[in-house]
Amino acid sequence: MADKKSQHYDGSDIQVLEGLEAVRKRPGMYIGSTGLPGLHHLVYEIVDNSVDEALAGYASRIDVTIHPDNSCTVIDNGRGIPVDKHPKYKKPALEVVLTVLHAGGKFGGSGYKVSGGLHGVGISVVNALSKRLKVEVKRDGGIYEMEFSRGKVTESMQKTGNSKATGTKVTFWPDPEIFDTIVFDHETLAKRLQQMAFLNKNLKITFTDQRKLDAEVEEFQYSGGISDFVKYLNEGKEILPGLSKPIHIESALDDTVVEVACQWNSGYHEVVYSFANNINTVDGGTHLEGFRTALTRTINDYARKQGIFKEKDQNLTGEDIREGLTAIVSVKLTNPQFEGQTKTKLGNSKMRTLVMQEFSKGFAEYLEEHPAPAKEIIKKAQGAQKARNAARKAREATRRKGLLETASLPGKLADCSIKDASMTEIYIVEGDSAGGSAKSARERSFQAILPLRGKILNVERAGLHRSLSSDTIQSLITAIGTGLGDDFNLEKARYHKIIIMTDADVDGAHIRILLLTFFYRYMKPVIDAGYVYIAQPPLYRLSIGRKHEYIYNDDLMQKKLAEIEEGTKYTIQRYKGLGEMDPEQLWETTMDPKNRTLLQVTIEDAAAAERSISELMGSQVEYRKDFIQEHAKEVRNLDI
């Protein structure tokens, strides 16, 4: 096999000798955590290997399947993992790939191997953390199979048939001894696979979740690549005239690829995601810096050259220019350096210069050739500049009034008695009646209740300034205590659990999404810190004889009903709102830390959050109408 490493050994080979035992002892070191993100990491690891085969030009499709027993199969039509004898280990290369820990996943070092960072720890890590793993390789005219358990060979490699095709099929069963949960989350996997397809133009990825009764094959394939990604993120938004096709700049130099797609909408938010080797660099880095610098400079140069600025040293700031911008910056490079605590910031400084150069060149050309959209982009930025000056004045006025100070807590807040924020929680409750129930139900030493009257303002449409003038938002900000925007300070949080508790109906869902929008836009660090939760009130109470059971979703209810034997008498109480529960029931099912289930809100996929928020609330009225009509059956009194 193409093992370049055997030619010059260096320090990194010491890691090669480390056994898979080390992986089982300290899984977090290799996959980040043993929670749900770590579990998903196993899938990404295999898929990344298949994507590498695609990037190298050998594979064109990847099929991912989750089976009813929570095992996962990944099939690609690449070259297949080599099966011939490895010169150093004197074993089939397939066995070496699956049982020897490789630093950085550089094993095989084939021409264009770009994975790295968070992923690329190697397929052997997945093997080490799987109760069972089966691999089937089609290569060199044959079909080869092999099996493992917890990283150890259980069936040595055997040729089981002939085939002219090539490719790799891996099925693994995550080890319940390692993971807190082995139940994959459908949405998280689907979103990531879709993202992979956006980032790798034309690559076909399918996803089948056989756990679902009506399992459909989801297909992701995009001929427009990241331009399609940008269009997807901007769906339902009003696009600036002349920009319906995103600006797409791509350049390949030596072993590096720089790609940027961008499009402006009439909204006020900046949505820019950056990737390095298909990894979402949540903390940005040099590629993002290069893009931002180039964007600001190129627009200002162009506007000056066109005589758009009245005064000589007039300038638009980067922030002004990025208002309403949706963009994807994707780079592929060998030896990416990932920095920061979560290794999600690109550090290679050559990418700053490279993205800056390449994007400047392409974008300046675009502006020259497309004067109409160029004018629109500048007009939009000038509007932002005006609004920013006005908002600053308004904010200064608000600050003087002391609205963002914690001195005067809102009257509606039933605060807890403990002052140590790390021990306390606040329930944000919809409506005064549910608020009343929650106040009676709570354990007042550590649980505070803030009832919200009416719908909170639609922050997406109103913008920060108008939202601040709403009473609801003001009491929310004051109760939480962190302030927001430039004045935000996480250490001032008055509670370390902020729990959104709404009715289990459409209105409740709407209020929840409004609250999440607010936190996402203006208090993102509280989400990052893991402070925001969603309470899970039950939907039903099932009584059989004297036994009562609370049921939290429709699927479970169906299952329960199917399990009840014929003849048995039962009654079902459906809770339409929190107000229908008496305080004891509310405590027992939803607020008692011993019984309740809280969903922690994460920004695992900020792109998805952004999208669901704008689908419901974006500025384009037509789209909102469509959305609401589509959901008309479920919707009652939805405030449009």
CB nearer ligand 0RA, residue 203 or residue 416: 203
Is residue 503 annotated as part of the catalytic site, yes or no? Answer: yes
**640 binds ligand 0RA, rule: CB under 6 A:** no
Q: How far is the CB of 173 from ligand 0RA (least distance, A)?
A: 17
Q: What does the buried/exposed string (b/e) look like for 445-479 if buried means 16 or more CB atoms within 10 Å of the residue's CB?
A: ebbbbbbbeeebbbbbeebbeebbebebbbbbbbb
CB nearer ligand 0RA, residue 136 or residue 320: 136
**81 binds ligand 0RA, rule: CB under 6 A:** yes
Residues 209, 259, 503, 610: which is the catalytic one? 503
The region of 49-57, 200-208, 225-233, 333-341 touching ligand 0RA under the rule CB under 6 A is: 49-57
- The SS3 call for residue 229 is helix
Pairwise CA distance, residues 434 & 404, whole Å: 27
Q: How far is the CB of 107 from ligand 0RA (least distance, A)?
A: 6
CB nearer ligand 0RA, residue 66 or residue 75: 75
List the one residue from 5, 39, 51, 76 that touches ligand 0RA (CB under 6 A).
76
Pairwise CA distance, residues 539 & 427, whole Å: 19
Q: How far is the CB of 82 from ligand 0RA (least distance, A)?
A: 5
Rounded alpha-carbon distances, angstroms, from residue 477 to 39, 193, 269, 630? 35, 37, 20, 34
Pairwise CA distance, residues 278 & 119, whole Å: 10
Residues 250, 270, 319, 505: which is the catalytic one? 505
CB nearer ligand 0RA, residue 122 or residue 246: 122
List the one residue from 34, 130, 168, 171 that touches ligand 0RA (CB under 6 A).
168
Token readout for 56 is 């190298």
Q: How far is the CB of 46 from ligand 0RA (least distance, A)?
A: 6
Q: How far is the CB of 548 from ligand 0RA (least distance, A)?
A: 50
Is residue 507 annotated as part of the catalytic site, yes or no? Answer: yes
Listed residue (452, 487, 494, 483) closest to 470, CA to CA = 452
Token readout for 95 is 């066995």
Q: How far is the CB of 489 from ligand 0RA (least distance, A)?
A: 46
CB nearer ligand 0RA, residue 56 or residue 387: 56
CB nearer ligand 0RA, residue 50 or residue 274: 50
Contact letters (x/-) for ligand 0RA, 256-295, by CB under 6 A? ----------------------------------------
Q: Which residue has the tokens 């384009």?
A: 620
Query: Is 129:23 a contact under the CB 8 Å cutoff?
Result: yes
> In 10 A of CB 494, how many CB atoms?
20
Is residue 48 annotated as part of the catalytic site, yes or no? Answer: no
Q: How far is the CB of 343 from ligand 0RA (least distance, A)?
A: 22
**42 binds ligand 0RA, rule: CB under 6 A:** no
CB nearer ligand 0RA, residue 97 or residue 367: 97
DSSP per residue, 148-190: EETTEEEEEEEEEEE-S--EEEEEEEE-TTT-S-----HHHHH
Q: How far is the CB of 210 from ligand 0RA (least distance, A)?
A: 21
Q: Which residue has the tokens 């180039």?
A: 294
Query: Considering CB under 6 A, how many residues would be counted as binding ligand 0RA?
Result: 17
The region of 77-85, 113-121, 248-256, 476-484 touching ligand 0RA under the rule CB under 6 A is: 77-85
Rounded alpha-carbon distances, angstroms, from residue 469 to 33, 340, 386, 404, 473? 42, 37, 20, 12, 8
332 contact partners, CB below 8 Å, separation of at least 6: 55, 114, 256, 257, 276, 277, 278
**78 binds ligand 0RA, rule: CB under 6 A:** yes
Query: Is 86:1 a contact under the CB 8 Å cutoff?
Result: yes
Pairing of strands 345-346, 256-264: unpaired
The region of 72-80, 144-152, 370-378, 420-428 touching ligand 0RA under the rule CB under 6 A is: 72-80
Residue nearest to ligand 0RA (CB): 108
Contact letters (x/-) for ligand 0RA, 94-133, by CB under 6 A? ---x---------xx-x------------x----------
Q: How far is the CB of 278 from ligand 0RA (least distance, A)?
A: 15
Pairwise CA distance, residues 371 & 494, whole Å: 51
CB nearer ligand 0RA, residue 47 or residue 608: 47
Query: Is 145:155 a contact under the CB 8 Å cutoff?
Result: yes
**589 binds ligand 0RA, rule: CB under 6 A:** no
Q: Which residue has the tokens 């994707």?
A: 330
Please compute, for residue 595, the number of CA atoms within 13 A of its CA located in the half-sphere on the CB side: 15
Query: Is 609:520 a contact under the CB 8 Å cutoff?
Result: yes
CB nearer ligand 0RA, residue 3 or residue 605: 3
List the one residue from 36, 43, 44, 53 that touches ligand 0RA (CB under 6 A).
53
The region of 78-86, 210-218, 463-471, 496-504 touching ligand 0RA under the rule CB under 6 A is: 78-86
Pairwise CA distance, residues 500 & 497, whole Å: 10
Q: Which residue has the tokens 């931002």?
A: 292
Pairwise CA distance, residues 262 & 230, whole Å: 7
Beta-bridge partners for 220: 205
**65 binds ligand 0RA, rule: CB under 6 A:** no
- The SS3 call for residue 537 is coil
Query: Is 117:338 a contact under the CB 8 Å cutoff?
Result: yes
CB nearer ligand 0RA, residue 151 or residue 537: 151
**50 binds ligand 0RA, rule: CB under 6 A:** yes
Query: Is 128:18 a contact under the CB 8 Å cutoff?
Result: no
Listed residue (87, 85, 94, 98) closest to 152, CA to CA = 98
For ligand 0RA, the binding residues in 207-246 under the rule CB under 6 A are none
CB nearer ligand 0RA, residue 84 or residue 555: 84
CB nearer ligand 0RA, residue 42 or residue 346: 42
Token readout for 350 is 């050559």
List the one residue from 2, 213, 407, 640 that touches ligand 0RA (CB under 6 A).
2
Q: How far is the CB of 230 from ligand 0RA (least distance, A)?
A: 29
Residues 430, 460, 604, 610: which is the catalytic one? 430
The region of 47-55, 205-213, 542-550, 588-596 touching ligand 0RA under the rule CB under 6 A is: 47-55
Is residue 487 annotated as part of the catalytic site, yes or no? Answer: no
Contact letters (x/-) for ligand 0RA, 358-397, by CB under 6 A? ----------------------------------------
- The SS3 call for residue 502 is coil
Please list the alpha-helical segments (H only) found in 332-447: 350-369, 371-401, 432-441
Pairing of strands 497-501, 425-430: parallel
Please report, as ranges, the residues that interact with ligand 0RA according to CB under 6 A.
1-2, 46, 49-50, 53, 76, 78-79, 81-82, 97, 107-108, 110, 123, 168
Which residues carry out catalysis?
430, 503, 505, 507
